Structure 1
Amino acid sequence: MHYKFSTGQQYRQNGFSLIELVIGMLVLSIAMVMLTSMFFPQADRSVESLYRMRSAELAHSVMNEIWGKRYDQNTNPNGGVPACNAPSGLPCSTVLGPNGEPRDEYNDIDDYHGLDINDLMLNSSETYADVYRNFKLNVTVEYVDAATQAAKLITVTVTTPSNEDITYQAVRSNY
């Protein structure tokens, strides 16, 4: 808009028209809808990724400990022959789980059957449950084929704080 004063000077009025204000509010509302529907939920997804990464660390740590033990109570602790169920060896254990030894003396992989996060010591004063708060862990060990007893399936199930169960498995053969 231009106004003309009696002195011959023109004056231009600055500001927004009603149409410009409505269009600006429309654009702003569309931007807010996009932010709330696309970008803000990413924060929740990033927490889930962190939980999954921490569950993998926990499972890997436990699996490494288990993997370092011998196959069976009746397998030679120094390796070599005879392995359990070998022609000149003892039969493999039929009952899987601890053989009466305390947790720090587990010596074969099936001793870990039934283990949970509260049984795992990280060091002399701290458990895994202290470090991995609100995580749950369960270990199962079973024969892949109960008839041959040639391999054991180790399953580590980690439950994240958001109640997502993530399963990690490994097969250990009798060698």
Structure 2
Amino acid sequence: MTDENAPLICVMGVSAAGKTTVGIALAEQLGVPFNDADALHSDANRAKMASGTPLTDDDRWPWLETVGDRFRSRSDTGLVMACSALRRVYRDRIRSVAPDVLFVHLHGSRELLLERAQARTDHFMPAALFDSQLATLEVLDEDEAGFVVIVDREPHELVEEIVGRLAKSSVR
């Protein structure tokens, strides 16, 4: 049986926006599992990104289906997942499998995000792909379930804002 109050939240944005850090803390606060969509990429996708080659949409479709399947499989427990979900069509693909997903877009200035991306040494997504991600990013449309959070604060402050906005929108 599905718990209609179990949140399905996709923490989205470009690399280095803080999706995993914020997602883990948000999942803990909400008492639901956390997954990182990066872990669902195929080895071929990971190798491609690690070499500095952006993924094509053909590379992404099976991955996005897997992301949607993971959300759907957790509809009874809730789930917070970190996933770039940069374009509307990608979010639509996820929603086609799991229609109740709410998108929380972590967004910041190019300078702040690039600084964070360049400081990372343990991530398969190189800073060189940062500009291609920014070029690909499509902000949430008004008809999409979700909202934008500016990442110019500490992660715990972002989680407080997200939880407060979820409570106001009756998503739990």
Higher CA-based Rg: 1
Structure-2-length-normalised TM-score = 0.28
- Larger strand proportion of the pair: 1
